[in-house]
Structure 1
């Protein structure tokens, strides 16, 4: 008898169900004694057999709150499949409390509807019992965090209306992560922009989780790619900082200095202090713009390499066309080789800068700052050299007017002077770091060799 009942529920055969009920009116009452994993109403809810489900609920309304082997009600299954009419009927019969029933994972029917983004079902469940959205599953995530993690932005927009602005900014999971943390960790750009349009979430953007990390810190812990760079740019423009930047630095004890010593502090000392203390945070904020600039320079060099000054010429040999050669190779191969060398360096250095920028290394690090500065200056020098060589190749007898030559040479000289200054400052900074590292060891050795005072 039970087997026939389940077969009828699979096909939604109402006539077979009525025939079974006429044979034995206790058929549905004996379901609690069977070993099946779910009731016929569970099967009907999954299959969407609404008429069949109505007959079952009319005969035995308690089936609306029956549990399967995973502690799911028929409402769980109907919500997961987005069957709105079935959901409405189950809520009507099972009362509003059935919306808060949780399965073995701690999920309500609203959780399953939101994760599958059945928006009409989500609205119906919220209208029936808004408290269902506040249930926390075994994972410790709120339903809003789950929508963020699974990138269900449309369901998220429906559910956020259940919290006011202040509550929305402070809602966290069991790890202390706010909604902004979750969006940054998953690098969901659309959700990130949506949250930052809300004043309360933007004002609370520097909140830290239980590990003491802001949303920007949490993003840095994730694998770095172009989406991570875009998310970083969005967070920084919104005023989100790293946790270390939010903590006030302790003021070091200042040694006693007389007025005359302070007065003698000149331009060089102030410049040196600026080099040591400036954290170059503006470079972190402009990382995306630097990548675009480097790509433009590399693309220009790539185009110049494939389209050299003077163009290319093609020839036929034995009735077949050969690949076009640069016209300059027919005139002066040495000058063309020099042009190719300059142009290659101009293309490769920006590509190396791009690799450095997308690798995620902190640009406030003095070494990487120096490497980036040297690479940029070198690319500029070779770009000017490539231009000068191209103009000479296109001029009669390699003639270039003196004004152009002097402007290019002065520009390259200026880049060289700037590179020398940065290198000197960097070398001095390294020497000072090494000296400070060795000073405690030297003092310890001296103290060990000093006789005891009597």
Structure 2
């Protein structure tokens, strides 16, 4: 029993990914910067994983220790905020965009290999709380970013029957309802 106690107080995780997945904040605090910046086979960092799982303490620690990983892009073109939005992790996205960072808009405009932004991911998932928060925070610049098929978040909202998002989005630019996607569809 003494051995179990000793292992719980020492660094039990051999890498940052394991520590994040286990939500072992103590293990993360003992790791050096190089460990926290690791990338997996898909180019994701421990911050991507923490964002995906919604582990807010891990996100906070990783943002403070290795802030450059907030801009790390996987082989799929996803930064941690985009991964979190795709998983419906509202609080993770808000935490990743917290503070008065001049780079927050650039992070919000990051697109994956399909052209999906955090706003598009939130709308596609039906996460109106996050979608409306992103709309208030970043406005027209984010709302008017099309994906690879020239679809706006408004197109996705219309396809899903999301009237609440449509009403809020068109306040930023009424002309976006006339924007045609690659297939000729209007919003």
The change in CA–CA distance for 1:47 and 1:169 in structure 2 (over 3 A counts) is closer
What is the aligned counterpart of 1:194 among 155, 161, 168?
A: 168
What is the aligned counterpart of 1:142 among 110, 117, 131?
A: 117
Aligned residue for 2:53?
81
Q: CA deviation at 1:199?
A: 4.8
The change in CA–CA distance for 1:17 and 1:123 in structure 2 (over 3 A counts) is same
The SS at the match of 2:113 is coil
**Structure 2 CA distance, aligned partners of 1:112 and 1:211?**
27
Aligned residue for 2:144?
170
Aligned residue for 2:127?
152
Residue 101 (1) aligns with residue 75 (2): no
**Structure 2 CA distance, aligned partners of 1:156 and 1:144?**
6
The change in CA–CA distance for 1:171 and 1:17 in structure 2 (over 3 A counts) is closer
CA contact (8 A) 1:100 1:132 kept: yes
Give TM-score, length-normalised by structure 2. Answer: 0.82
What is the aligned counterpart of 2:86 among 112, 115, 134?
A: 115
Residue 53 (1) aligns with residue 24 (2): no
Unaligned 5+ runs, structure 1 = 1-7, 19-38, 216-454
CA contact (8 A) 2:109 2:142 kept: no
Alignment of 1:25-36 (within 5 A): none
**Structure 2 CA distance, aligned partners of 1:41 and 1:142?**
27
Alignment of 1:305-454 (within 5 A): none
Q: CA deviation at 1:50?
A: 0.5
CA contact (8 A) 1:108 1:132 kept: yes
1:286-334 CA-partner distances (Å, limit 9, x unpaired): xxxxxxxxxxxxxxxxxxxxxxxxxxxxxxxxxxxxxxxxxxxxxxxxx
**Structure 2 CA distance, aligned partners of 1:138 and 1:126?**
21
**Structure 1 CA distance, aligned partners of 2:108 and 2:124?**
16
**Structure 2 CA distance, aligned partners of 1:82 and 1:192?**
27
The change in CA–CA distance for 1:191 and 1:118 in structure 2 (over 3 A counts) is same
Larger Rg: 1
Unaligned 5+ runs, structure 2 = none
Q: CA deviation at 1:136?
A: 1.0
1:5-51 CA-partner distances (Å, limit 9, x unpaired): xxx9xxx8342649xxxxxxxxxxxxxxxxxxxx6210111111111
Moved beyond 6 Å, runs of 4+:
none
**Structure 2 CA distance, aligned partners of 1:146 and 1:40?**
30
What is the aligned counterpart of 1:64 among 36, 47, 52?
A: 36
The change in CA–CA distance for 1:16 and 1:63 in structure 2 (over 3 A counts) is closer
Aligned residue for 1:13?
8
CA RMSD of aligned residues (A): 2.4
**Structure 2 CA distance, aligned partners of 1:66 and 1:75?**
10
Give TM-score, length-normalised by structure 1. Answer: 0.36
**Structure 2 CA distance, aligned partners of 1:123 and 1:40?**
26
**Structure 2 CA distance, aligned partners of 1:85 and 1:169?**
30
Bigger relative contact order (CA 8 A; separation at least 6)? 2
The SS at the match of 1:106 is coil
1:360-401 CA-partner distances (Å, limit 9, x unpaired): xxxxxxxxxxxxxxxxxxxxxxxxxxxxxxxxxxxxxxxxxx
CA contact (8 A) 1:153 1:191 kept: yes
Aligned residue for 2:18?
43
